[in-house]
Amino acid sequence: MMRVIEQLEQRLQLGKIETAYQREVCEPQGPVVRYQCGDCQSINHTSNDGRKVHEVELRLLVEVPIALVNFDMAALDLSSRIERELFNERFGCADDVEETRLISNLPRRFNPENGVFLRVVTIKQRILMGPIDDNAVEIIGIKNNVEGTS
**What are the pLDDT digits (tens) for 63-118?**
999 999 999 999 999 999 999 888 766 666 666 777 788 899 999 888 888 788 99
CA distance 135 to 132: 9
Q: Over the chain, what is the mean pLDDT?
A: 80
Sheet containing strand 18-19, strands side by side = 18-19, 32-46, 52-65, 116-129, 101-111
* 0.85 exceeded by pTM: no
Q: Give percent above pLDDT 70 in the chain.
A: 74
Q: Which DSSP symbol is given to 69?
A: T
Q: What is the pLDDT of residue 62?
A: 95
> Could you report how far apart the first and last alpha carbons of the chain are, in Å?
57
Phi-psi sector, 130: left (phi>0), alpha (psi -120 to 50), beta: left
Looking at residues 34-58, what average pLDDT do you find? 80
Residues 124, 97 contacting (CB under 8 angstroms): no
Collapsed DSSP state (helix, strand, coil) of residue 134 = coil
Q: Angle, to 10 degrees, between the axis of helix 71-86 and the axis of helix 2-12? A: 120
DSSP alpha helix (H) spans, 25-150? 71-86
Collapsed DSSP state (helix, strand, coil) of residue 14 = coil
